Structure 1
Amino acid sequence: MTSLEQLKQEKIAVLYGGDSAEREVSLNSGSAVAKGLTEAGFNVELIDTQGFNLGELKTRGIDRAFIALHGRGGEDGCIQGALEYLGVPYTGSNVLGSALAMDKIRCKQIWRTLGLPTAEFKMVEKADFNPEQAADILAALGGKVMVKPAHEGSSIGMASADSAESLIAALNNAFEYDSSVLVEAWITGGEYTVAILGQQALPAIHMETPHEFYDYQAKYQVSTTQYHCPSNLPKEQEAELQGLALQAFKSSGASGWGRVDFMLNSDNQWQLLEVNTVPGMTETSLVPKAAKVHGLTFNQLVTEILQLSANR
């Protein structure tokens, strides 16, 4: 096991930026992580992976990587596989956990198999989609749906639909981002998230927005979104949610740290949405908010995430 003092002797690369649709968010996350680690006493080099030859990590003497890349290339097992090939230890989930958690459809298939609660859904492939199917898909899922590219984050490419015409439009938009699209039965209720740190679920956060759902604008561009942590759930219900978050996280193969998103439907039942293996990491992002209520400063949080990578 690598001690904290040994980690501080290592050269840590914070990998950020990249080429995904979430590049701008990643630039903010990486900058915050690098600042936090530097203030905590680590030897840090901030590296934008856009156009970067990963082989240079070895020539630059990098001992370990803190992955702050969101979306494709950074959160889907690609960078994890490259780092394993290079022999560079890294934070967060391994190749399988990253790839599986990034795939919303296959995560839901696993949860269904394990009996974990998640909304009804259909998988729609771009190559096979016939617009004449839209009305049947909508009817099978209760008349209103959420459309999500299977391998995107930050609500990119997402839209609601409550008619065949709007579903066709939403699917065509989602196909711009992904050839596989998740069409999920609409859930009416509150949205919650639980951060995972090691084997522990942190305090839940309840997000409230005047938008129809917690979309990209609600996450990053407006000041009207409210975050409640503590979540004000009854103690027993919060414990149930945290336990479910740990189950969902582990079932996807995820490890180290991450976040699990939920809806609490109108029947007061939890519905799993997705697992995030590299969530946003600015000082105002969801995981740092939960960590703060748990008693960890931002610098302590990034230190703990780094230490988890050394204990794998």
Structure 2
Amino acid sequence: MKKKVAVLLGGNSSEREISIISGNAVLKSLIRSGINAYSFDTRDFPIMQLKKQGFDLAYIALHGKGGEDGSIQGVLEYLNIPYTGSGIMASSIALDKKRTKLLWKSDNLPVLPDIYIQKKDVLKGINNFLIKENFKKLPYPIVVKPNNQGSSIGITLVHFKDQLKNAIEKAFNYSNTILLEKFVIGKEYTVSILDTQILPSIQIITKNNFYDYISKYQSSSTKYLCPSGLNLNQEKKLKKIIKRAWNTLGCNGCGRIDVILDNNNKFWLLEVNTIPGMTHRSLLPISANAIGISFDKLVLKILNKTITPNI
């Protein structure tokens, strides 16, 4: 009897739209491969029903809160249904940019200086907070970002002090904790991981100041170079950093880590994505394809690396 696979997509996060596109692409791929697969929007479908309906595996195509943060993983653990991607703890940490950086820093991995702000710290008013706080250790320009969002949602590049208030307010619309991070001019790269294999790096070239939401999903001018143009030594060095960064967080299955190469030829880790997009513009499929792994083969490889709950 064929195993029954549930593709979980949609959800309630701000990345819902991208998740639906990713999930539908995965579903079509699984069906092409002869897998008995069905999609479920977790916003509308009670996940607790999966076991009763006889599902054996879950392919998680959810992005952001509720899907990438360990919560859906916890439900699947409770139901004793194996699932794709990282486990509860790694998922939870990886979506939290500050905690991710703290772990990386503890392992002597290269992370950019930042200031971490909680919403409760500015309840008396952002103006009072900005006057009180000293931001001199973080010279402009700086990037203001929600601490636990993906897809570059809610991010602002701030060049001057008078832009900071609006940027902070915008970031707080998406998260109760935010990061003010040093902005580095350089070349942006992303590196995908598939099981224990580090895939070829991709250089991201955008006309915008950084790889924001518009660059990712709307702009036709964004270019992805794979091979990335790094020399053999740089590629080797980058792969070593990526492997350590991935393992430090305890991640599994597949994922993607974004980095920047500054003008002094130093790599800086930016963030990790434990459930990469699977749309026609997504970077994991591009990287896999560069070494002969088709989209359908990639989906099957991800499915075959499900986590079995320890129950």
For Structure 1 versus Structure 2, the TM-score category normalised by the shorter chain is over 0.9
Q: CA contact under 8 A between 1:201 and 1:243: conserved in structure 2?
A: no
Counterparts of 2:251 and 2:138, CA distance in 1: 29
Q: CA contact under 8 A between 1:138 and 1:163: conserved in structure 2?
A: no
Partner of 1:111: 104
Counterparts of 2:235 and 2:134, CA distance in 1: 34
Counterpart secondary structure, 1:184: strand
Root mean square deviation, CA, Å: 1.4
Q: CA contact under 8 A between 2:86 and 2:307: conserved in structure 1?
A: no
Shift of 1:111: 1.2
Question: Structure 2 vs 1, CA of residues 44 and 111 (structure 1 numbering), >3 Å: closer, same or farther?
Answer: same
Partner of 2:302: 305
Q: CA contact under 8 A between 2:59 and 2:303: conserved in structure 1?
A: yes
Q: CA contact under 8 A between 1:22 and 1:70: conserved in structure 2?
A: yes
Shift of 1:254: 1.3
Shift of 1:246: 1.2
Shift of 1:133: 4.6
Partner of 1:162: 159
Q: CA contact under 8 A between 1:138 and 1:164: conserved in structure 2?
A: no
Counterparts of 1:301 and 1:89, CA distance in 2: 18
Shift of 1:284: 3.1
Partner of 2:4: 11
Q: CA contact under 8 A between 1:138 and 1:145: conserved in structure 2?
A: no
Output the amino acid matched with 2:236. A
Give the one of 149, 154, 178 matched to 1:181: 178
Partner of 2:61: 68
| CA deviations over 1:228-280 (Å, ceiling 9, x no partner) | 00101001101111111111111112111100000111211000000100010
Q: CA contact under 8 A between 2:57 and 2:82: conserved in structure 1?
A: yes
Shift of 1:310: 6.1
Number of aligned residue pairs: 305
| CA deviations over 1:146-171 (Å, ceiling 9, x no partner) | 01101100000000112222111101
- Give aligned-pair identity as a percent: 44
Question: Structure 2 vs 1, CA of residues 30 and 76 (structure 1 numbering), >3 Å: closer, same or farther?
Answer: same
TM-score by length of 1: 0.95
Counterparts of 1:229 and 1:76, CA distance in 2: 29
Counterpart secondary structure, 1:139: coil
Partner of 1:55: 48
Shift of 1:213: 0.9
Matched, 1:209 2:206: yes
Give the one of 177, 190, 194 matched to 1:193: 190
Q: CA contact under 8 A between 2:80 and 2:308: conserved in structure 1?
A: no
Matched, 1:244 2:241: yes
Give the one of 124, 127, 134 matched to 1:131: 127
Output the amino acid matched with 2:130. A
Output the amino acid matched with 1:166. Q
Runs of 5+ consecutive residues of structure 2 not aligned to the other structure: none
Give the one of 215, 223, 228 matched to 2:220: 223
Shift of 1:132: 4.3
Counterpart secondary structure, 2:255: strand
Counterparts of 1:153 and 1:58, CA distance in 2: 29
Counterparts of 1:305 and 1:131, CA distance in 2: 47
Counterparts of 2:34 and 2:308, CA distance in 1: 19
Question: Structure 2 vs 1, CA of residues 107 and 74 (structure 1 numbering), >3 Å: closer, same or farther?
Answer: same
Larger CA deviation: 243-252 vs 152-161: 243-252
Partner of 2:20: 27
Runs of 5+ consecutive residues of structure 1 not aligned to the other structure: 1-7
Moved over 4 A (4+): none
| CA deviations over 1:16-51 (Å, ceiling 9, x no partner) | 011100000000000000111111121101111112
Shift of 1:287: 0.1
Question: Structure 2 vs 1, CA of residues 311 and 65 (structure 1 numbering), >3 Å: closer, same or farther?
Answer: closer
TM-score by length of 2: 0.95
Partner of 1:93: 86
Partner of 1:82: 75
